[in-house]
Copies of this chain bind each other. A is one copy, B any other.
């Protein structure tokens, strides 16, 4: 047998010499499929303060050696990494998982590192050989070398303890040495002092944007400010709006979203029902922004002063609500920018300014900005300054009008700049367009997105769409804000379905997603259309309006109840926990949400047909609920307060749109009752 002068033990030495390594994609330890990640880590995933960031990775190397892996993480602005262990959760697929806490409203960076656990590998082999009755004297020499190496690396008390172990190890007999080596304290110490110079780090750093909780959980009330007064033919003021706050708060809303509050252009102003010519006294569309009175940083004089707006913002805060503003990047032809910065607009060969059009349609009351060209930096900075101006007035939420008609890179830049200054700011993208564009806007920064929800009415449409939103990659970056209607969208379902339709859509919006909104008038079941169109008749977009907020047939009590149920049930503050369950009728949708610890479980049976009663058998997911067939459980129907004792996962329900279009069942884990227990 050949021998070598200097014995080498190189279990863990997996270095590859530089000239070879430079040419390779792979490393001695393979770390791949680290997730969640989007587009190869190019865009961050999103979470909210208080979440745990679960990190998964596939990690392996050749042979049988054991590995150790950690997730490294830090706030993006910090330089020092912290780490949490990853656990091997699926040995057959080399899949590891761990989690770190997200405590701060900021951006975190994370990655993964792994190394060969030389000592654990050695222990494992030793144990097998000892169990097999093999001689292990040489193995113990190898193990001693590993202990000595670690003692060299260790510091402080650990160094002392490792050296003590070495001393005892040397003084002991082999059987005792085996015990010392395999002792749990020894292993723990050894795990603390690996040779991290041999660690392999994943070659990408991934990001997670952590927003405040309101990005995920809130109820929005879209308010057409000038219609909140009591005098017909006249604009309401911020003070009138303020008067409505207690009532809106009582209904359970968290956000008051204002359509644009700026001066409205006079040139080519639109008349009632979007007619081309406004008569004197017609107020015009608030989306035709800017006039002599000012542009995007001004408030419409009819509504009040900037001071009065700030007062309104404070009033909202006092009520526990906040204000969202509309950010619509377009100008009336008489917007001050047109005079001050003609270079920001497009002019035609005949010297006229190019107004907005989508041929053959023309929008003469609006001109669009040119986001490109040599003046783009000045323009982009001005737009940024508009947002920051309103942030200074206390506004932390912006609903962005038609972001998909502006460059994607502009949004990435702008939201990034705002977030760097104030991470509390939330942008909602009103992009009703093709899925890849909507998703990209969310990826580059929008914290919330409008969705196709408004047009998903049937059971299977809802299941398909919600499954995509909550179970696909989309859940990592796109928070769907479910609006039941908007000033521009008066869906046929609501036009025809009356009060039950409004109740049904409210429950769906408020419980399928965790963030949702209604547009004022919805609580009154107002859905009178321009015949054959999806638009409101006599829309307040183009004329003054006064509402009776308590008119008969309203569903304010119902909304109040639903928002209270949302608030009281933590499971409904989440999005991804939505699951659909079997119901044997095509009109009855059955779904539920559970908190992670199952302390809160809420199920919904919704008749999506607003016209006729339907019956269904619902199958509750007993196993997911932590129950066995035959368990008795107590159920509370939250709209009626009725309680049930159920012994079967299969339950029949009859939902009559006029009586109970929806039933909501809460099963509290604490309410599991064992009636077979004679001491009960």
Q: Is the pair B351, A62 in contact by a Cβ cutoff of 8 Å?
A: no
A558 interface contact, C-beta 8 A: no
Determine, out of A105-113, A406-414, A513-521, A565-573, the stretch whose residues face the partner at the interface: A406-414
Beta-carbon contact of A10 and B60 below 8 Å: no
The answer to whether the Cβ of A353 comes within 8 Å of any Cβ in the partner chain is yes
Query: Residue A30 at the B interface, CB < 8 A?
Result: yes
The answer to whether A347 has its CB under 8 Å from any CB of chain B is yes
A19 CB-CB contact with B under 8 Å? yes
A171 located at the interface, meaning its Cβ lies under 8 Å from any Cβ of chain B in the complex: no
Cα A415 to Cα B349 with chains together (Å)? 62
CB A225 to nearest CB in B, in angstroms, measures: 29
**Cβ-defined contact, A440 with B376, below 8 A:** no
Chain A 352-375, CB-CB to B under 8 Å as 1, else 0, gives: 110001111000000000101110
Query: From residue A410, how far is it (CB to closest CB) to chain B in Å?
Result: 9
Cβ of A2 under 8 Å from chain B? yes
- A279-300 contacts to B (CB < 8 Å): none
Task: Report the nearest B residue to A11, measured CB to CB.
Answer: B346
Shortest Cβ gap from A12 to chain B (Å):
9
Quick one: CB contact mask for A561-580 with B, threshold 8 Å, 1 for yes?
00000000000000000000
Whether the Cβ atoms of B129 and A360 lie closer than 8 Å is: yes
Number of copies: 2
Q: Give the shortest distance, in Å, between A429 (CB) and chain B (any CB).
A: 12
Instruction: Report the nearest B residue to A376, measured CB to CB.
Output: B17
User: Are A7 and B129 CB-contacts (below 8 A) given A23-B413, A376-B20?
Assistant: no
Instruction: Check if A492 is an interface residue, CB within 8 A of chain B.
Output: no
Q: How far is the CA of A343 from the CA of B8 in the complex (A)?
A: 9
Q: Chain A 117-154 against B: per-residue CB contact (8 Å), 1 yes, 0 no?
A: 00000001100110110100110011001000000000
* Any B CB within 8 A of the CB of A77: no
- A26 is an interface residue with CB less than 8 A from chain B: yes
| Most-contacted residue by chain B among A19, A25, A30, A124 (CB, 10 A) | A25
B372 touches A92 (CB 8 A): no
Residues of B within 8 A of A413 (CB): 20, 23-24
Asked whether any CB of chain B lies closer than 8 Å to the CB of A28, the reply is: yes
Q: Is A377 an interface residue (CB 8 A)?
A: yes
- CB-CB under 8 A from A16, the residues of chain B are 372, 376, 407, 409
Q: Which residues of B contact A353 (CB under 8 A)?
A: 1-3
Contact sample, A vs B, 9 pairs, CB 8 Å cutoff: A2-B333, A7-B348, A8-B370, A10-B372, A25-B412, A125-B357, A131-B360, A138-B348, A145-B349
Q: Which 8 A-B pairs have the closest CB atoms?
A: A132-B360, A40-B40, A141-B349, A128-B359, A3-B351, A4-B347, A125-B359, A26-B408
Known A2-B342, A4-B343, A64-B358; 12 more pairs at CB < 8 Å: A2-B333, A3-B351, A8-B346, A8-B370, A10-B373, A17-B376, A28-B408, A58-B436, A61-B408, A91-B434, A125-B359, A131-B360
